[in-house]
A and B are shown apart, each in its own frame.
Chain A
């Protein structure tokens, strides 16, 4: 089965840039999306189609995907960005795979 690997945690200072990686075999050949989940809440889509932002998601969230790695970048991190982030890949053969999640701490 397909696997996506994320670092368990990432720390970032307020106003700085956080990069969250998601690695998988030939991941660049699949579409990747990202979800933000705050404690006690449902996940929220922040990036889809590798690098598109849904309506209402701040511009400081950006995505990229190439080779074996997708990256979610938060530019100018804010305290409100502190959350768990999950990547998800879509492939027609094994349609949905989630990464294990990364806890982002803003301090």
Chain B
């Protein structure tokens, strides 16, 4: 059973950069696709992006100019960076394992981490 754990600061100032890490236990991250998804308080799910290798990644077009998703295989971690944050970036951020085959679906999720953007 793969376990995913998000970590990072819970409070970020407007215009600053948000950086989160997802640590994966019980399995190599090299074998799968990994994704970030967020959920604003009381709202629905928003796809942020996914990564398989540095050359194989996809970002939500509405966020792409501010996003970087990267892998650290030595630490079994996936990272997310969002620049120039605003209050609209306040959300619970989830990392999830993306299975690609019969379509694409997220079969394992982290517990999520709340990030609040506020001065």
Contact = CB atoms under 8 A, between A and B. Distances in A.
A24 interface: no
The binding surface of chain B is classed by DSSP as: strand
Interface stretch (B13-21, B70-78, B97-105): B97-105
Interface stretch (A12-20, A43-51, A71-79): A43-51
Contact of A48 (B50, B62, B103): B103
A49 B102 contact: yes
Interface in B99-119: 99, 101-107, 109-112
Interface residues of B, number: 23
A48 B105 contact: yes
A42 B102 contact: no
B44 A98 contact: yes
Interface in A19-43: 30-33, 35, 42-43
A27 to B, nearest CB: 12
A61 interface: no
A33 B98 CA distance: 12
A89 B94 CA distance: 18
B2 interface: no
Nearest to B99: A48
B45 A42 contact: no
A1 B64 CA distance: 14
Contacts of B28: none
Given A1-B61, A95-B50, A45 B44 contact: no
A54 interface: yes
A33 B50 contact: no
Interface of B: 35, 44-47, 50, 58, 60-62, 94, 99, 101-107, 109-112
Interface of A: 1, 30-33, 35, 42-45, 48-50, 52, 54, 86, 88-90, 95-101
27 contacts: A1-B62, A30-B103, A31-B104, A31-B105, A32-B103, A33-B105, A42-B111, A44-B109, A45-B106, A48-B102, A49-B101, A49-B102, A49-B103, A52-B102, A86-B45, A88-B45, A88-B105, A89-B103, A90-B103, A90-B104, A95-B47, A95-B50, A95-B104, A96-B35, A96-B50, A98-B45, A99-B44
